[in-house]
Amino acid sequence: MTLKDWARKKSIWVFDVNAASCNGCDIEILDAFTPRYDVERIGVVLVPSPRHADVLLVTGTVNAMMKDRLKTIYEQMSEPKYVVAVGACALGGGVYKGCYNVGHGVDKVIPVNLYIPGCPPRPEAIIFGILKLVTGEPPDPKEEE
């Protein structure tokens, strides 16, 4: 493992986008930063600008209004960049599937690296997903303690 790989695994800066979500998934994402889960211990930081971020967390069915904006945000991120679709809506429309005004998932608009299902997914699932994305394997429970 080179120094670069080590640094990329230990420091994960995320930026979350609410693309027409009901806000449920966003609250669960923010839950992961609270004292109970505290993802800062594994190096995850919520950054204010997409240009600073490594991982883009997208929630919600991407509707027509959000489509171009989501693309713009994705293009502003610098390489290497990853996209995580959080929640049932982001995976394929969720309960709104079939409605005339909603998109059907993030992967119709931008390439997605990882899907986290759930309506909304628990914070544990989100942490598990981010770690799996970066390390390529489930986190070692001993290392987390």
Partner 1 sequence: MQLLQLLVFPGLTFFVWIAFAFEWLERKTAARMQGRVGPMIAGPFGLLQPVADFLKLASKEQIIPKHSEKFVLTWGPPLYFAAPAIGIIFIPVIGNESIIGHPLDLLFVLFVLAFSTLMASLLGYSAAGRYSTIAVGRLVVQYTSYEIPLILSVISPAILAGNLSLGGIVSAQSNYWFILSAPIGFAVFIIASLAELEKPPFDIPSAKTEIVGGWMTDFSGNALAYVKLTKNLSYVFLSALAVTLFLGGPNGPVLFHQIILQYVMNTIYFMVKLFSVGFLIFVVKTALARIRIDQAAELFWTILTPLSLAQLGLVILLR
Q: Which two tokens stand for residue 135?
A: 């390390």
Q: By CB under 8 A, which span of 71-79, 86-94, 103-111, 115-123 interacts with partner 1?
A: 71-79
Q: Which of 35, 136, 138, 141 binds partner 1 (CB under 8 A)?
A: 35
Per CB under 8 A, the segment of 39-47, 58-66, 91-99, 114-122 that binds partner 1 is 39-47
State the residue for tokens 């049932």: 88
**Do residues 14 and 39 touch, judged by C-beta distance below 8 A?**
no
Per CB under 8 A, 42 contacts partner 1:
yes
Residues 116-145 that bind partner 1 (CB under 8 A): 143-144
Q: Which of 49, 57, 50, 48 has its CA nearest to residue 83?
A: 57
Residue 119 C-beta: closest distance to partner 1, Å:
27
Selected from 1, 48, 136, 138, the binder of partner 1 by CB under 8 A is 48
